[in-house]
Each structure stands twice: as C-alpha cells, then as structure tokens.
Amino acid sequence: MRLPLNINKKVIAKKSLGQNFIYCNKFLNRLSDKIVSNYNTDIIEIGPGTGSLTEYLTRKKFNKLILIEKDFQLSNNLNQKYLNEKNIEVHNKDALTFDLSNLSKNKEVIIVGNLPFNISSQLLINWISFNKWPPFYKKMYLMFQKELGKRIISKNNNKSYGRLSILTQSRCDIKELLEAPASIFTPKPKVDGIVLEFTPIDTFKNVDLEKLKLILKTAFKNRRKKIKNSLGEYSIFFDDLEIKEDMRPENIDVKKYCSLAKKVN
C-alpha cells in the first residue's frame, strides 16, 4: 500500500533550485498520454518535485520507475511514499552531475522531466554528449522555457537558429508536443513552457561532437559576421560542401556543419 505524499500546494518552492511545480491535472494527463512506454520500459524522471507527474507515470506501463530529485526533503517524501514499491527507486542526486547512463541496463529507457528552466540547456547538452551514440535512452520528454524550446527546434535561416539548435538536431529528431502556459506552474513563472520529444538518430554519429562544438562556438561568437571572416580557417572546405563565403552562421544547415566537422583534423 502506498503512503500518501505528505506534501501539498503550500510547499515552498526553492528559487535556487529553479523549482516550479505543476498541479494542473488536465495538463499532466495530456502530457502523460504523450509519453510512450511498455512493460519493458525503464522510466527515469528528472526533478519529480512534489510527485504530481510521478503519480501519472505510476499508472503507465513500465518495468522500473527511477526518480532523481536533488531536494533532500522532497526526495525523502517520495522515498517514503514509494517505500513498498519494488519497481520504483528514488535517488537524492543532482541531475547535472549524476551519470544517468549507469541507472539501467535495459534496452528500453526513456527520460522524462519538468526541467528547472535555469539549468535545462546544460542538462540537455549533457544528455546529447554521450560518447556512445545512439545512447542508452530511446526517447526524452523534456520541459523547457518556451523561447529556449523554439531555439532548439529552429531551422537554418532563422534568427533563433544557433549552436544549441545544431548540436541537438545533429543528435536527435525533435518534436514539439505541448505548450505549457505559465498559469499551470506554482509559483507562476514569467514565461510559458514547452514540452519537446527527443528521439536519438545515428545520421551523424561519426561526427566528433567536440569538433562540432568548437566550430559552432567560432561561427556564432559574432553571428552577424559572414563566415569568410568567422570561419576563414576552414574556407578550404567551403567549395566541397557548397558553402558560400557570404553566408552567415545561421544560413548553414545542420548537415553541412556536421560535414565540416568531419573534415577538420
């Protein structure tokens, strides 16, 4: 028998941890419906907080549910609630430094998280930077600040297209699932959120991610510069890749950036 979770809407969110809890059952139900799992799936939930989404996840098909919560008190509350559930684990860990790849040897792993807006991009970079690719997970369902989410899915020739767009799209197919109005969060943030689905791809698995990161850092350091100036040291490869010197960084698509990274020694 599960114990009731000894928390409610009066829980004081910690600004230092970027906590914004979701209590809107309508939204949680819609999000849960978007998350695909089966009885072989290990679900890793990042930042379950007060356990609102967790409760919906426990109703889904899964092999194991693994909760990663940095807040000691909230982690303890969750641990107490699911103490008698053999297929639910609670880890009082910081997702930024904790290696998720060691949590499950299962072939069916998904990551789910209402990520703290202040560290969401750092977490995403960590989870797309595993040396072994495709990685240990099959999908990720993650919440971001809406503006950041739009940057992640942006295509070339748009102002919102940049380093994070290219890095992420070189590793995953990305789909927009749900917009999350600020009103569903407690405390209410100043911005809306968005949930994205990430499916790892192997199209560019032979690209050295560190080389790609270096090229992108150089290119977007001054995004208004033409690449003949910002990426001049790589200009000997431009013709082969059909890259024009008068282009700006946001004009070059993911495939060409990856091709350029493969040519660099």
Give the tens place of pLDDT for each residue, 210-253.
999 999 999 999 888 999 999 999 999 999 999 999 999 999 99
Of the given ranges (14-18, 121-125, 182-186, 249-253), which has the lowest mean pLDDT? 14-18
Asked, for residue 245, whether it belongs to a domain, the answer is yes
pLDDT, mean of residues 169-191 = 94
Confirm if 33 and 112 have CB atoms less than 8 A apart: no
Q: How would residue 265 be classed by pLDDT, with cut points 50, 70 and 90?
A: confident
Residues 254 and 157 in one domain: no
Q: How would residue 60 be classed by pLDDT, with cut points 50, 70 and 90?
A: very high
Q: Mean pLDDT score of the chain, rounded to an integer? A: 92
Q: What is the total count of domains within the chain?
A: 2
Asked, for residue 2, whether it belongs to a domain, the answer is no
Residue 40 belongs to a domain with what CATH number? 3.40.50.150
pLDDT of residue 3: 46
Residues 215 and 130 in one domain: no
pLDDT of residue 81: 96
Q: Give the domain extent around 236.
A: 209-263
Q: How would residue 19 be classed by pLDDT, with cut points 50, 70 and 90?
A: low
Residues 163 and 222 in one domain: no
Residues 97 and 189 in one domain: yes
pLDDT at 12 over 90: no
pLDDT of residue 21: 83
Residue 215 belongs to a domain with what CATH number? 1.10.8.100
pLDDT at 14 over 70: no
Asked, for residue 227, whether it belongs to a domain, the answer is yes
| Cα–Cα distance for residue pair 175/186, rounded to 1 Å | 26
**Both structure tokens of 75:** 């982690």
Q: Report the DSSP pairing between strands 88-91 and 64-68.
A: parallel
Asked, for residue 101, whether it belongs to a domain, the answer is yes
Asked, for residue 10, whether it belongs to a domain, the answer is no
Q: What is the pTM of this model?
A: 0.92
pLDDT, mean of residues 179-185 = 95
Residues 26 and 139 in one domain: yes
Q: What is the 3-state secondary structure (H, E, C) of the chain?
A: CCCCCCCCCCCCCCHHHCCCEECCHHHHHHHHHHCCCCCCCEEEEECCCCCHHHHHHCCCCCCEEEEECCCHHHHHHHHHHCCCCCCEEEECCCCCCCCHHHCCCCCCEEEEEECCCCCHHHHHHHHCCCCCCCCCCCEEEEEEEHHHHHHHHCCCCCCCCCHHHHHHHCCEEEEEEEEECHHHEECCCCCCEEEEEEEECCCCCCCCHHHHHHHHHHHHCCCCCCHHHHCHHHHHHCCCCCCCCCCCHHHCCHHHHHHHHHHCC
pLDDT, mean of residues 145-158 = 98
For 74-85, write each residue's pLDDT tens digit. 999 999 999 999
